[in-house]
Amino acid sequence: MTPDKPRLRMAPSPTGSPHIGNIRTAVFDYLYARHTGGTFILRIEDTDRNRFVEGALEEMMYALRWMGMQWDEGPEAGGDFGPYFQSQRLDIYHQYADRLVEQGRAYRCYCTRERLEEMRKVQEAAKLPPGYDRRCRNLSKEESGTLAQENPNPVIRFAMNRDGTTELDDVVRGHVSFRNDLQDDFIIIKADGFPTYHFASVVDDHLMKITHVVRGDEWLSSAPKHVQIYEALGWQAPVWVHPSLILDESGKKLSKRSEAQTRFLSYIEDGYLPEAMLNFLATMGWSAGEDRKLYSREELIEKFALEGITNHPAIFDLAKLNDLQGEYIRMLAVEQLADMIQPRLQQAGYIGDSLAGDDISYLLRVTALIQDRLVLLNEAADMVSYFYSDEFEYDEKGARKHLAKDTTPAILKAVISKLSDVNSWTVGDIESAMRAVADDLAVKAADIIHPTRMAVTGRTWGPGLFELMEVIGKSRVVARLERCAGGL
């Protein structure tokens, strides 16, 4: 019986830190479940004991929650279809494997590692396609008995249909057909008693009443295995959805790139916002059919349809992510942004653990000044360094260009003298004073502004000069100008 509402699962194997591609798939699962009022399930595919990585599951749960994608069923959430860890469902897999053996759709294979190795070599030498030669597919009782003495821990293999084709309809790929004579009798239960992915995922998807299987394109070639298991057990297959691979800008598979680019947690550490990541990942390989870049979570949920998943490779466009991120940073209230950068400034030693009233208003003023240019939260500490510390470095090139000229001392002295007379230290009065210096010396405003910016901030770029001078305060500004007025 099919449930009336879609049920989708994310089924990570805890074999490493979550990959950006895993999270993109989860975004599609989550958005479709929320769009339809369905259920988003987290199932842990931990049947490969050799590849188990301590902490991988915790990182996955952290990543999903950080994205605001809380699962409805699964670890720490419970649900009626548990356990949600495959390692706790071994009995269930054995029950169905036995059933397939009884039906003649699966068989015990006693081939030793040595024999399989030998077989592979012969196939290779004869340039034959690799695959199991089905020696154990039709053994008599006696033959099985003899072989069992040689190898008491047989695996169980699925007996694939050998004639005709296996067909399926995929939401992204359309109708797909696979030749059965090219399929292998793959293992469903390993010698250690654990199921393989192919078997466990089908059994679980059926028992957990999964209606839509969304998973990376790399699994499409395995789909005939899954389709035949569904048929053999008399079960209805789910709707298949295989979104395209993610490629980098140069057209290479993203998974081949450095870990820094594919490890999802590094985006959290860099200070991307969940809203920006959600918007970015949702629109990487999915489109609502309109020319639009910004979508709030609610809008994505409202608009997300499986038909909008594109069948050409999705490109991981970092410039687009940074552009989105900037947009989301600018949408924040200054108080929110200040809250986000506060721990990073504490870490840098610019502020203490608890801030008093004046410190808070200073932080808010500083934050407001960098909000226009800030992209990553972890760039904030560097961007505000000169607001908090007088001991900053001077950008070498900028200093050579703007502070090392013969005219610099005279210009800075004139600026100091004019600023000392400014009584109300406001943007407007600072600006008038600076322009007056330019007039007095008969030079362009830029000839005054550049050296002043270098002297006050140590760099050639940043927020508006008069604005930042106002925030830094008269005495500190003048002291910094004096430091440079004697030449560097």
Q: What value, to the nearest 5°, has the Cα angle with vertex 441 and ends 435 and 442?
A: 85
Q: Are strands 165-170 and 174-179 parallel, antiparallel or unpaired?
A: antiparallel
> How does strand 246-247 pair with strand 314-315?
parallel
Buried-exposed string 344-375: b where 16+ CB fall within 10 A, e elsewhere? bbeebebbeeebeeeeeebbebbbbbbbeebb
Residues numbered 446-465 forming contacts with ligand GLU, rule: CB under 6 A: none
Site string for ligand GLU, 203-242 (x = CB under 6 A): ------------x---x-----------------------
Contacts with 27 (C-beta within 8 Å, 6 or more apart), sequence order: 67, 69, 278, 281, 282
Phi then psi for residue 466, to 5 deg, are -65, -35
**Nearer of residues 314 and 454 to ligand GLU, judged by Cβ:** 314
Which of 11, 155, 278, 399 is in the footprint of ligand GLU by CB under 6 A? 11
Q: How many Å apart are CA 9 and CA 67, to the nearest integer?
A: 16
User: What residues does 108 pair with on adjacent strands?
Assistant: 156
Cα gap 43→86, rounded to integer Å? 8
Q: Considering the complex, state which of residue 210 and residue 414 has its C-beta at the smaller distance from ligand GLU.
A: 210
- Looking at the Cβ atoms of 45 and 217, the one nearer to ligand GLU is 45
Query: 12 vs 463, which CB is nearer to ligand GLU?
Result: 12
- Least gap, CB of 197 to ligand GLU (angstroms): 6
Query: Is residue 5 annotated as a catalytic residue, yes or no?
Result: no
* CB-count burial class (<10 Å; 0-12, 13-18, 19+) for 333: exposed
| 10-18, 136-144, 344-352, 451-459 -> range binding ligand GLU (CB under 6 A) | 10-18
Q: Tell me, what DSSP letter sits at residue 307?
A: G
**In a 3-state reduction of DSSP, which class is residue 111?**
coil
Does 12 help bind ligand GLU (rule: CB under 6 A)? yes
Closest CA to 91 of 189, 233, 220, 225: 189
Q: Which of 36, 201, 283, 342 binds ligand GLU (CB under 6 A)?
A: 201
86 binds ligand GLU (CB under 6 A): no
C-beta closer to ligand GLU: residue 262 or 371: 262
Distance of CA 486 to the CA centre of its chain: 51
What mask, x for binding ligand GLU by CB under 6 A, covers residues 38 to 77?
Answer: -------x--------------------------------
Q: Which is nearer to ligand GLU, 86 or 283 (CB)?
A: 86
Looking at beta carbons only, is 54 or 290 nearer to ligand GLU? 54
Does 196 participate in binding ligand GLU (rule CB under 6 A)? no
Residue for token pair 């057909």: 177
Beta bridge partners of 187: 157
Asked if 262 touches ligand GLU (CB under 6 A), the answer is no
User: What's the closest the beta carbon of residue 204 comes to ligand GLU, in angstroms?
Assistant: 10
Residue nearest ligand GLU by beta-carbon distance: 215
Tell the smallest beta-carbon distance from residue 272 to ligand GLU (Å): 23
Stretch that binds ligand GLU, among 11-19, 56-64, 248-256, 379-387 (CB under 6 A): 11-19
User: 165 forms bridges with which residues in the sheet?
Assistant: 179
Span interacting with ligand GLU, options 8-16, 58-66, 117-125, 155-163, rule CB under 6 A: 8-16
Please tell me whether residue 241 adopts helix, strand or coil conformation.
strand
Given the residues 5, 121, 252, 256, select the one marked as catalytic.
256
Count residues binding ligand GLU (CB under 6 A): 8
Residue from 390, 408, 413 nearest 398 by CA: 408
β-pairing, 187-189 vs 155-158, is antiparallel
Q: How far is the CB of 45 from ligand GLU (least distance, A)?
A: 4
Contact residues for ligand GLU, defined by CB under 6 A: 11-13, 45, 197, 201, 215, 219
Q: Which residues are catalytic?
A: 256
